[in-house]
Copies of this chain bind each other. A is one copy, B any other.
Amino acid sequence: MTEEHGAPSGASEALRPKTRMRNRDLPAATVHRLARYLPVLAEFAERGPAIVASEELAVAAGVSSATLRKDLSFLGANGVRGVGYDVTRLRRRVEDVLGLSDGHRFILVGAANLGRTLVEASGFRQRGFALVGIFDDDPTVVGQRVAGWVVRDVAEVPDIVPRLAPTIAVLALPDDLAQAACDELVAADVQCILSFCGIALKVPPAVEVRRVDLAMEMQLLSFAGARPADTAAAAVGAWNPVAARQRSVVSQ
């Protein structure tokens, strides 16, 4: 959201007052968009020409070409003036910057419907994220096999997680259990948490949390839907292939 920021945040969102995103010196908004460029680059790598202009990439990603060029310029010179960008080279560069080159190990905490579906359906593996363990609080779920892993009890987090050494934890527990589990994860030295809870988790400053709140997304849409018909935009009429006005959770 985005996050968004921008999308936003957004998804881009509120709380880190001004620190950017701590790596190098990339604007947070740029980091968000870099992640959005990746699937577009993958698409071009498969079907498109080897060299592509900023305008084409920008349209496909739904941003302006000026924004895209400036984003990429933060990573150094990646294109050739008068020509364009080498798709595969650029793709590698973006993956590098986002820290995706080394692969990532993650655990799932909360193996009920939501958590189970998330890890099974979201193409994590195909994007280089390896599931290395599953935990749950519910005794009827603990011991079951999910996505190839035996579900362990959350109480075992302190013993097991340090050995698994995941860089990311996906947290999909009910709201009232989330903070306690989060504390365990933090104590076990997990640095990044992707949370699907409805509450804001309290964490030390060194831990990065991203929250995906689906009901909140609906509420934001609700606001857009309640708008007064926006005659100006409607007058523009037909089809805008630039896909203006899309947001990422965290913004579309």
> Hey, which bits of chain A sit against chain B, CB under 8 A?
1-17, 19, 21-23, 28-29, 31-33, 35-36, 38-40, 60-64, 67, 97-100, 102, 104, 106, 112-114, 116-118, 120-124, 127, 129, 167-168, 170, 191-195, 198-206, 208-228, 230, 233-234, 236-252
Contacts and interface: CB of A to CB of B under 8 A. Distances in A.
B15 A11 contact: no
Contacts of A40: 200
Contact of A62 (B113, B168, B194, B200): B200
A12 to B, nearest CB: 1
A167 B17 CA distance: 35
A99 B1 contact: no
Given A22-B224, A220-B32, A251 B201 contact: no
Contacts of A123: 198, 215
Given A7-B249, A192-B221, 19 more contacts: A1-B4, A2-B3, A2-B249, A3-B210, A3-B212, A4-B11, A4-B248, A4-B250, A5-B251, A7-B250, A12-B247, A14-B62, A113-B121, A170-B218, A194-B217, A200-B243, A202-B239, A204-B236, A209-B246
A64 to B, nearest CB: 8
A123 B113 CA distance: 13
Q: Which of A10, A19, A38, A242 has the most CB of B within 10 A?
A: A10
A11 B249 CA distance: 5
A6 B250 contact: yes
B199 A39 contact: yes
A206 B229 CA distance: 8
A117 B151 CA distance: 19
A32 B22 CA distance: 23
Contact of A3 (B15, B245, B250): B250
B15 A4 contact: no
A252 to B, nearest CB: 3
Q: Which 5 A-B pairs have the closest CB atoms?
A: A4-B9, A3-B250, A8-B9, A1-B11, A4-B10
B33 A251 contact: no
B201 A243 contact: yes
Nearest to A129: B218
